[in-house]
Chains A and B, each alone.
Chain A
Amino acid sequence: MRLLTHNMLQSNVRGTTNGYPLNIEVENAIIEESPVETELIKRLLPKIDYKVLKRAIQQISSHLPLPVLEELPERLSEDIDDETVLSLLHTVLMDVHVLEGHLVCPDSGRKFPIKQGIPNMILHEDEI
């Protein structure tokens, strides 16, 4: 699971009003480097919640060497052209993969397991 995906996922347990953002509990996470696609990153930036992204990085940083928090900008400006910043954003959005762990609903505490990099968001029949 990439952090880009985590940025979108929410809990849909019946009765919760605030199932976003999910907290990440990491058991195993890796970084797989990939070529930076600046155009793609630029197009994605307006669609993500930046605060949530930074919080996610914080929750993972105990497991992965990610010294990037200090280097990331405070806020995302309209047009970022700085190559290093875009490259950093690419790394955190695309190259970090949580392979094993849980996503925890902030409201109900319900844990959604992540196995083999695939988060399982399906509720049991009595939770819908």
Chain B
Amino acid sequence: NAELESVLDLFGIKLSSPDCQILTLPTSTERARPFLVLSFPHNLKGKRFRLQDGKCDDQSQDQDQIPFSNIISRCILVRSVIELWGVGKTLSDCVACSKKWNESSIGKEIFEKNSGIDKSWKITIHTLGTKYTRLEQDNMRLRFRFFDFKGQVKMEDPTNEFIMIREAEIDVLGNVVHPQQDCNKKIIQENVARPPIGVYFGRILGQGRLVKGRGAMEQYSLKRRAYLGPTSMDAELSFIMTNFGQVEKGKCVIDPFVGTGSILLSCAIRGAYCSGTDIDIRVLRGRSEHENIRSNFLQFGLPRPELVRSDNAIYHRHYQRSEVPLYDAIVTDPPYGIRAGARKTGSKLETPKPVVEELRHNHIAQTKPYSVADVMADLLDMAARTLVMGGRLVYVIPSFSINFSIEDDLPQHTCLELIHCCYQSFTSELGRRIVTMKKVGDYEETHQEEYLSAVWKNGAESAEKCANIRDKLLEAAKKKPGYQQKAAIRKEKRRKSREAKKLSKRKFATLDQKG
């Protein structure tokens, strides 16, 4: 829901307000359901969207308004949007409800608009978790025969696609919940064992944009990019982050840990003006003239991103007027020492050796390790400074699924309010959190020390919950039984392959000598 909420908010709609109510689904269950029913007042005017799709006969409607389905299709996690005509717990209930709707004034109006002789149509039967034969499906379709569509039935790409969904109960992993045997230990026929908990009928307004498979967003998949790195974020997640950040055309976005530019690219695809900074000159420059951040942008016909090699730990020393709010969103994946260690400028030594003059132009400045506690504190402080009021910071942080408290373990800042914290799991214990914050208070330069010292409520130890996860995983793995044997086997394998390499090198060396 978080993604949907952010996108709706971007277009001026507040989820769960009288303008957009969430209705309860038929049959209350404890499990989460894959459906959401939203109710809007019928003639909603003055907002940035309109409910009807396609051409509008009504002259009074604002031409600049965006069809609602376009708004929703921006959401990566939404599979499709349906204009609901009837709903019920069982098929019969749904049919009865649809009949009543068809007789209501709103229902009649909508039906008129969609049933003309020029509008081809078809009904798709979608049964969640159950299979039905063609005949059974056709019988379901016949129950809706009272809808007198004047147009032709067209199976390929009709004007209107109607859908009937039969929902059965599913668990967290998406598997259907059902008893396989009844009390007499007889196997229950599948469809009977999975009774419907909801049946919905409606008109499909739009499909979500899938990044995988044949979706419209597949062209942005990482597989197709010219320049990638081990830390490039997958396209799906970076688009979801742009939704949390409410990134759109006309906004200024920065990624202070831009790396290979994968997140920045998604922001540019949404139409924003993009900047990126990083301390590592190698990722900024890329591998060659044709394999760098800019070439990825070029590949999609996007303008050159603005890139600067600078140190985010001293953002205010690099940029003049750093307290003038410049950015509408900061969307980033900060380094936390797992695949790419964080660095900041400076030498480990108290008095660093001066650089020899002749070598200065090619000298690559020394950097020192940058702890996760400081990375996050500096990021939040920089965000508080440079975001416009209401602007958003979206970042990713790895963390464990248990032993983590949102109120106590996430970094905090007086000027920023936590909006969402979403968890994506990798394994049963480890996952990552995508955190969204909003600027709600003006930044006061004189309070910088206070802000920074208050970032970690439980002290820098909380930062450790995110940092050094690799070490912790290794420690945990060592405690598991059989680890010693497996480690010994791996060690043996490595030793053998090293020996083999040495042998082959020696062979080549002697060949050279002979030759």
Contact = CB atoms under 8 A, between A and B. Distances in A.
A80 interface: no
Interface in B301-349: 303-304, 306-311, 314, 317-321, 324-326, 345-347
B365 interface: yes
B355 A40 contact: no
Given A47-B324, A124-B355, A126-B355, A118 B285 contact: yes
A5 B320 contact: no
B319 A37 contact: no
Contacts of A97: 304
B395 to A, nearest CB: 22
Contact of A126 (B284, B304, B311, B354): B354
A54 interface: no
Nearest to A35: B303
A40 B366 contact: no
Interface residues of A, number: 36
Contacts of A20: 320
Interface stretch (B70-78, B91-99, B203-211, B273-281): B273-281
User: Interface range on chain B: under 10, 10 to 19, 20 to 34, or 35 or more?
Assistant: 35 or more
A17 interface: no
B320 A47 contact: no
A124 B363 contact: yes
Interface of A is mostly: loop
A40 B250 CA distance: 5
A74 to B, nearest CB: 22
B308 A9 contact: yes
B303 A128 contact: no
B321 A123 contact: no
Contacts of A113: 361
B304 A117 contact: yes
A94 B275 CA distance: 12
Nearest to A32: B304
B311 A1 contact: no
Given A10-B320, A39-B250, A125-B347, A118 B352 contact: no
B273 A123 contact: no
**Which of A21, A37, A118, A124 lies at the interface centre, i.e. has the most chain B CB atoms within 10 A of its CB?**
A118
Contacts of B284: 118
**Which of A12, A39, A94 lies at the interface centre, i.e. has the most chain B CB atoms within 10 A of its CB?**
A12
Interface string B86-115: 000000000000000000000000000000
A95 B345 CA distance: 31
Contacts of B292: 116
A32 B365 CA distance: 32
A114 B308 CA distance: 9
Given A8-B320, A47-B324, A118-B284, A125 B346 contact: yes
A115 B304 contact: no
A76 interface: no
Interface in A77-128: 94, 97, 113, 115-126, 128
B319 A122 contact: no
B253 to A, nearest CB: 12
Interface in A16-38: 20-21, 32, 34, 37
B318 A12 contact: yes
B320 A125 contact: no
A8 to B, nearest CB: 5
Contacts of B317: 10, 12
B334 to A, nearest CB: 18
A128 B128 CA distance: 63
B294 A117 contact: yes
A37 B352 contact: no
A128 B353 contact: no
Nearest to B314: A12
Given A119-B309, A120-B281, A10 B318 contact: yes
Contact of B352 (A40, A116, A126): A126
A120 B309 contact: yes
A37 B249 contact: yes
B64 to A, nearest CB: 13
A116 B285 contact: yes
B501 interface: no
Given A4-B306, A8-B320, A124-B363, 9 more contacts: A1-B308, A7-B320, A12-B317, A32-B304, A49-B321, A119-B309, A122-B279, A124-B360, A125-B346
Interface of B: 249-250, 252, 273, 275, 279, 281, 284-285, 289, 292, 294, 303-304, 306-311, 314, 317-321, 324-326, 345-347, 352-355, 360-361, 363, 365-366
28 contacts: A5-B275, A7-B320, A9-B319, A10-B318, A12-B314, A12-B317, A40-B250, A40-B273, A49-B320, A49-B321, A94-B303, A113-B361, A116-B289, A117-B307, A118-B285, A119-B309, A120-B281, A120-B309, A121-B310, A121-B311, A122-B279, A122-B309, A122-B310, A122-B365, A124-B366, A125-B352, A126-B352, A126-B353
